[in-house]
């Protein structure tokens, strides 16, 4: 299926241009279009994969965050829109972030256009310090340095105060343990503005004259929307029994929009903070329009009454849309998949019991015209992510081959409250495996599913889950695919990316603790390799720094030694996420063919 993959976007400060990331040229690069239909500036390509972009406040330059080789040692560069010149701002021997890793929320520029904030692990590879660059002189100042305590590891800039005199910083120790700090740039003072006990999320959305808008789970299970005032008190604005994924504020402060995660779809709502008037955002198709921290580029921008979002749907490629909050008029701004088939399948939102009785969530895709079908259970990565009804060419290709897909949101998934998400902590290969056994039992109870033809697929943590399924629940599966999957939890913890290492003990466990060591070994697929029955495909990028390729190499060698059915594909020039379009399409075709061959009637 031919389509362009959009990875992020940003309207220009004056609302005349839309910059976005697309792989239309073969790898993710910056593109630009004029919203009035006129001729847009052609942006220069940069060496590497562009993962994020942001405008200077005067609209003269576009900041890009670039991954040179898939190893995720990001660099920053600015593209001058008039000349096309690319100016590199950071060196190639360190990692920098202009916000939360792999996300797109926040704004690294000060409103007055003088300063640029970013995080760097140059001083200590295991932490992120926060730096501010003076764009006039080039001088760089460290405004917050990570400490020696375990939780003082990842400090990330979110945005400046309206007067450009302070910087809001997020401490992201775990995905469910956040804190906010204000760095006062005039005197160097650092103020902790969210003191609390126990885990809590703080997803900052905007800084206004009245305070900081934040989505938080403080004293709640689900994230609500609140205004954090100067005295550290919270004024709650929205507290639904669902998670609020994010929010955006118009530059004049007259419109606040937020996205509620209702059964994996986004429900957009708005408030006029000045008048108290509220409403819902209508005009857009049913879709996913926001994710936590703007993962996958899915955040929101407001320019006056015009709301800009990326719209993800199961039957259409991801595209940028705008909707006018005053008139309700919606416009599709990009067209990333004009030639996609018109018979693509929508999922059904389902719930089913885990093997231990807990309720598990998922999206079930049933192939058309097939009375009895095999099904692939798809496990997302993270593990603290969420499968949502976005377009998946692999899912649709499997459906076209007569194979169903159950995309699961097992325990540990975000979007269902803090307590559900934290169930995965220090229990990888425990209750999550019960959930996947429950998924197989649920499918076996459906009249159109052939329970003897079940496959399991996943990448990253999902790859670990797939390996766990085929080695520890071998009787349930006919085929498996693991992409960049962990086979040995002990080795994985010891080879974590440097900036993950301080969180490892509370997230997975401590290999230096005898009890943890025994638990991690027992939960590792490598220990159970001899139990494999189903043909297994292993795929791994050789530049992967999140999960070492040695995880797949070692698992492959063990299965070959045992004379068990396995194939390993090592992907040259790619890291944890495949960026090259042709390589990605070839990998997807290989996976689809693998399941089509082994799950055939």
**Distances 55 to 14, 33, 81, 164 between C-alpha atoms, Å:** 10, 14, 11, 16
Cα 139 to Cα 132: distance, rounded to the nearest angstrom: 8
Range 476-499 average pLDDT:
97
Q: What is the pLDDT confidence band of residue 410, given thresholds at 50, 70 and 90?
A: very high
Mean pLDDT computed over 181-187: 97
- Which runs of E-coded beta strand occur in 56-139? 61-67, 75-80, 86-88, 96-97, 115-120, 129-134
| Backbone angle region of 122, left / alpha / beta, with phi > 0 → left and psi within -120 to 50 → alpha | alpha
Q: Where residue 42 falls among pLDDT bands split at 50, 70, 90? A: confident
**Cβ atoms of residues 65 and 102 within 8 Å:** no
Q: How far apart are CA 575 and CA 587, in angstroms?
A: 13
- Rounded to whole angstroms, the Cα distance separating 384 from 338 reads 32
Helices vs strands, H then E, count in the chain: 9, 35
Can you name the residues that pair with 247 across neighbouring β-strands?
258
Q: What is the 3-state secondary structure (H, E, C) of 222-253?
A: CCEEEEECCCCCEEEEECCCCEEEEEEECCCC
The pLDDT confidence band at residue 355, using thresholds 50, 70 and 90, is confident
CB-CB contact of 326 with 298 (8 Å): no
Identify the burial level of 209 via C-beta atoms within 10 angstroms of its C-beta, where 0-12 means exposed, 13-18 middle and 19 or more buried: exposed
Per-chain mean pLDDT for the chain: 96
pLDDT grade for 93, boundaries at 50, 70 and 90:
confident
- A 10 A CB-CB count for 528 gives 19
- Confidence grade of residue 514 (pLDDT, cut at 50, 70, 90): very high
Q: To 10 degrees, what angle do helices 431-444 and 461-472 make?
A: 70
Render pLDDT for 244-290 as a digit per residue (tens, 0 to 9).
999 999 999 999 999 999 999 999 999 999 999 999 999 999 999 99
Six-digit token string for 277: 């008037």
Lowest-pLDDT range of 32-46, 303-317, 380-394, 430-444: 32-46
Average pLDDT over residues 461-467: 98
Task: Return all residues near 391 (Cβ < 8 A) that are at least 6 apart.
Answer: 3, 312, 313, 314, 315, 316, 317, 318, 337
Q: Is the peptide bond before 508 cis (omega within 30 degrees of 0)?
A: no
Residues 61-71: what's their mean pLDDT? 95
Q: How confident is the model at residue 318 (pLDDT cuts 50, 70, 90)?
A: very high
Strands 536-541 and 300-303, by their bridges, are unpaired
Mention every residue, 6+ apart, whose C-beta is less than 8 A from residue 469. 377, 433, 436, 456, 476, 477, 480
| Cβ contact 66:47 at 8 Å | yes
Residues 576, 578, 581: CA angle, nearest 5 degrees: 175
**Tens digit of each residue's pLDDT (9 = 90 or more) over 137-183:** 999 999 999 999 988 999 999 999 999 999 999 999 999 999 999 99
CA atoms within 13 A on the CB side of 360: 32
- The reported pLDDT for the residue numbered 225 is 98
């Amino acid at each position: 299926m031919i389509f362009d993959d959009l990875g992020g976007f940003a309207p220009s400060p004056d609302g005349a241009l839309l910059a976005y990331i697309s792989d239309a040229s073969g790898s993710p690069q910056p593109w630009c279009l004029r919203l009035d239909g006129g001729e847009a500036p052609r942006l220069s390509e940069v060496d590497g994969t562009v993962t994020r972009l942001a405008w200077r406040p005067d609209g003269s330059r576009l900041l890009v965050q670039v991954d040179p080789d898939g190893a995720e040692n990001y660099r920053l560069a600015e593209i001058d829109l008039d000349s096309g010149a690319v100016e590199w701002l950071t060196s190639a021997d360190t990692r920098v972030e202009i916000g939360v890793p792999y996300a797109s929320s926040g704004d690294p520029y000060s409103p007055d256009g003088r300063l640029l904030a970013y995080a760097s692990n140059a001083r200590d590879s295991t932490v992120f310090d926060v730096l501010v660059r003076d764009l006039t002189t080039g001088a760089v100042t460290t405004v917050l340095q990570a400490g020696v305590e375990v939780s003082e590891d990842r400090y990330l800039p979110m945005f400046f105060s309206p007067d450009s005199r302070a910087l809001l910083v997020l401490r992201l120790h775990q995905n469910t343990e956040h804190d906010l700090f204000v760095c006062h740039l005039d005197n160097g003072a650092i103020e902790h503005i969210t003191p609390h006990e126990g885990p809590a999320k703080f997803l900052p959305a905007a800084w206004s004259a009245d305070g900081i808008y934040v989505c938080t789970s403080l004293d709640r299970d689900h994230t609500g929307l609140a205004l954090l005032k100067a005295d550290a008190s919270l004024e709650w604005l929205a507290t639904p029994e669902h998670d609020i994924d994010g929010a955006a504020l118009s530059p004049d402060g007259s419109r606040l929009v937020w996205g509620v995660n209702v059964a994996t779809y986004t429900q957009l709502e708005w408030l006029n903070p000045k008048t108290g008037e509220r409403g819902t955002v209508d005009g857009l198709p049913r879709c996913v329009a926001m994710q936590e921290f703007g993962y996958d580029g899915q955040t929101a921008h407001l320019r006056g009454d015009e709301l800009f979002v990326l719209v993800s749907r199961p039957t259409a490629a991801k595209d940028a849309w705008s909707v006018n909050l005053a008139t309700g008029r919606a416009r599709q701004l990009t067209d990333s998949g004009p030639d996609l088939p018109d018979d693509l399948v929508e999922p059904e939102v389902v719930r089913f019991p885990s093997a231990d009785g807990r309720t598990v969530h998922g999206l079930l895709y049933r192939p058309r015209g097939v009375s009895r079908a095999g099904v692939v259970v798809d496990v997302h990565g993270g593990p603290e992510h969420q499968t949502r009804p976005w377009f998946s060419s692999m899912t649709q290709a499997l459906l076209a081959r007569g194979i169903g897909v159950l995309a699961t949101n097992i325990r540990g998934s975000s979007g269902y409250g803090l307590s559900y998400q934290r169930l995965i902590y220090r229990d990888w290969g425990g209750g999550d495996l019960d959930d996947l056994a429950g998924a197989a039992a649920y499918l076996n109870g459906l009249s159109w599913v052939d329970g003897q033809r079940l496959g399991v697929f996943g990448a990253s943590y999902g790859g670990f889950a797939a390996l766990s399924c085929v080695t520890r629940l071998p009787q349930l599966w006919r085929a498996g695919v693991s992409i960049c999957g962990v086979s040995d939890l002990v080795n994985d913890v010891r080879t974590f990316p440097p900036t993950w290492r301080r969180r490892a003990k509370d997230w997975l466990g401590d290999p230096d603790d005898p009890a943890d060591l025994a638990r991690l070994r027992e939960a590792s697929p490598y220990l159970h390799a001899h139990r494999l029955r189903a043909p297994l495909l292993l795929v791994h990028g050789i530049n992967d720094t999140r999960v070492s390729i040695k995880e797949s190499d070692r698992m492959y060698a063990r299965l070959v030694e045992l004379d068990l059915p396995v194939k390993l594909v090592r992907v040259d020039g790619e890291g944890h996420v495949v960026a090259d379009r042709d390589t990605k399409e070839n990998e997807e075709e290989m996976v689809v063919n693998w399941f089509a061959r082994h799950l055939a009637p």
